[in-house]
Amino acid sequence: MRGALLSAGRAPAGFLNLLKPPGMTSHDVVAFVRRQVAGAKVGHLGTLDPGAAGVLPLALGAATRTLEFLPAARKAYRAELTFGVETETLDAAGRVLARRDPGNLEVADLEAACAAWRGVVMQVPPRVSAIRQAGRRGYDRVRQGEDFELPPRPAEYHSVRLVHLEGAVALLDVECGPGTYIRALARDLGQELGCGAMLSFLLRTRSGPFLLEHARTLEELRADGVPAHLIPVGQVLEACGMPALRVEGVELGRGMELLAWRDEETHPPEPGTVVRLVEGEGRTLGLGRVLEEPAPLRVRVLRPVSEGGAP
């Protein structure tokens, strides 16, 4: 994806594909970007644990108006698991609870255990997490010494593949849906193999259309300026699979209803579908929801999003 300066007024707007370094929280990264662009509104598309690294997509300015309408993103990780160690947080950051001899782990056994993780499963999330129970975050309850269990919740795994095994350390490639905890996968694989395991390192390689090979470092943002690495709103929405409808000669206002046209080669979106509203050469003006099916389609504007230039 190429970068471009988008504007809502004079404030930069668009998406950033950042490479989060280990040791920083996702909120630390958001704060860093806010300091680089004073006064800009910044939102994220899903956090990473402090010890993890990799793709951290952010939205700036008018792009934050689209976050609630983006489809759920498939994510990909390279995960390092250490067998024979169990910790309070299920990763290397936590207090060690148990150590066991992992014995001679066999590639075939681990491959078979990984292959079983397919589709939607009910999985117990980590207690040290932001999940609320009785109105309180799990990590706060652990910090205060409470003994509790979180109920299982759906987790979607597209693939779990063993890349390499050496001694008690394994590298896995994991593709999964949003809200899935790789720390919980490490715990469960360790239990299946009878020796326990923790997530010793995690690298996110993909979050929806944002790929690791295109991610920018914080040093690049500091050197080049944030606008140099912004990705246009329309480009991200298109990459996420959001259909487009054309409108002409209209200034969008939230809640207004208007007629829109589709390209001849595209199928008409069903009523209720969220679409991006474009004009001219494809400049994204905002988001709408389809109200009626016949052509031209009637849509209601959900969010105006001015790109201030070509997408």
pLDDT single digits (tens) 123-143: 999 887 677 777 777 677 767
Q: Domain 243-304, what architecture?
A: Roll (2.30)
Mean pLDDT estimate for the chain: 89
Rounded to whole angstroms, how far apart are CA atoms 103 and 278?
60
Cβ-contact 24, 47 below 8 angstroms:
no
Q: Which residue in the list 49, 91, 173, 263 is annotated as catalytic?
A: 49
CATH 3.30.2350.10 is right for the domain spanning 75-207? yes
Is 147 labeled as catalytic in the residue annotation?
Answer: no
The candidate with the shortest Cα–Cα distance to 199, out of 177, 166, 172, is: 172
**Distance between alpha carbon 115 and the CA centroid of its chain, in Å?**
24
Relative orientation angle of helices 107-115 and 182-192, to the nearest 10 degrees: 130
Q: Where are the alpha helices (DSSP H) in the chain?
A: 26-36, 107-115, 138-143, 182-192, 218-224, 233-239
Domains of the chain by residue range: 6-69+211-234, 75-207, 243-304
pLDDT at 8 over 60: no
pLDDT at 287 over 50: yes
Quickly state the pLDDT bin for 295 (edges 50, 70, 90). low
Q: What is the pLDDT at residue 1?
A: 40
pLDDT at 200 over 90: yes
Alpha carbons within 13 angstroms on the beta-carbon side of residue 187 total 18
pLDDT digits (tens, 9 = 90+) for 94-125: 999 999 999 999 999 999 999 999 999 999 99
Least confident of 3-12, 16-25, 231-240, 253-262: 3-12
pLDDT digits (tens, 9 = 90+) for 66-92: 999 998 889 999 999 999 999 999 999
* Helical (H) or strand (E) element with 17: strand 11-20
**Distance between alpha carbon 47 and the CA centroid of its chain, in Å?**
7
Q: What is the pLDDT at residue 170?
A: 98
| CATH code, 6-69+211-234 | 3.30.2350.10
Cα distances (angstroms) measured from residue 174 to each of 32, 48, 79, 145, 207: 29, 15, 7, 32, 12
Rounded to whole angstroms, how far apart are CA atoms 76 and 174?
6
pLDDT at 25 over 50: yes
Rounded to two decimals, the pTM is 0.89
Instruction: Tell me the β-bridge partners of 52.
Output: none
Please list, residue by residue across 206-220, b when 16 or more beta carbons sit within 10 angstroms of its beta carbon and e when fewer do. Answer: bbbbbebeebbebee
pLDDT at 9 over 50: no
pLDDT at 190 over 60: yes
Residue that has been written with the tokens 């329309």 in this structure: 234
Rounded to whole angstroms, how far apart are CA atoms 78 and 80?
7
Least confident of 22-26, 41-45, 302-306: 302-306
Is there a shared CATH topology between the 6-69+211-234 domain and the 243-304 domain? no
Quickly state the pLDDT bin for 39 (edges 50, 70, 90). confident
Residue that has been written with the tokens 């999964």 in this structure: 176
Q: What is the pLDDT at residue 3?
A: 34
Task: Report the greatest alpha carbon distance in the chain.
Answer: 70
pLDDT at 250 over 60: yes
Taking residues 273-299, what's their average pLDDT? Answer: 87
**Distance between alpha carbon 125 and the CA centroid of its chain, in Å?**
17
Q: What is the pLDDT at residue 307?
A: 58
Cβ-contact 116, 207 below 8 angstroms:
no
